[in-house]
Amino acid sequence: MTNNVETGEDLRVLLRCLGQRFECLGADAPQIDDILLRWAGVLPDEGPEPGWQGLADQLLRALDAPSVGLAEPAPLGDEPPVSSSAELRVLLLALAADFARDRAWTQDRLAQGLWAGDGGGWASGSMAQFLESWEAWLGARLGRPPASSGAPPFEPVTWASLAWQLGAARVYE
């Protein structure tokens, strides 16, 4: 897939295309935690703020990386603020573990014949849904000031704003 992402709107187009690709894969699509673990694996140890192009490049490298399997379930903790690629890696690993925890909780509820909707911390159960949520959240937020005083500005894309986007995509419906 070619990557010419200069703006947030360009990233939205890329996320839509990727979401459709994952939708077509159906049950064969990689899990969210596998992709997050891949992403953590391809991040540089140090580097400049990613910008829209760098963000797209990272995401595409993660998608092209070999599967690393699924994360061990663990809840999100008090992850430190993100201001570097190394700190983003810590967040990606924590998000992967949290998704695995959410998936295990949902599977356990379903195995018991219990309703599992609206109970987990993740609004998305598939990579296609996660990308759709991320794209929709960006569409709702681009061009507007941050929704809370603690949110970093979206542009230029920084490690901190990327972490904010991932956190928002995790819960956005």
pLDDT, tens digit, for every residue of 2-49? 579 999 999 999 999 999 999 999 999 999 999 999 999 999 888 889
* Residue 43 burial by Cβ neighbours in a 10 Å radius (0-12, 13-18, 19+): buried
pLDDT at 118: 66
CA distance 54 to 157: 9
- Asked if 131 contacts 29 with a C-beta cutoff of 8 angstroms, the reply is no
Residue ranges of the chain with per-residue pLDDT less than 50: none
Plot region of 118 (φ>0 → left; ψ -120 to 50 → alpha; else → beta): left
pLDDT of residue 119: 64
Q: What is the mean pLDDT of the chain?
A: 91
DSSP class of 112: T
**Six-digit token string for 71:** 């994360």
The pLDDT of residue 29: 95
Per-residue pLDDT at 117: 74
Q: What is the 3-state secondary structure (H, E, C) of 68-79?
A: CCCCCCCCCCCC
pLDDT of residue 1: 56
Say how far apart CA 120 and CA 75 lie, in whole Å. 11
Residue 79 is predicted with a pLDDT of 82
pLDDT on residue 149:
73
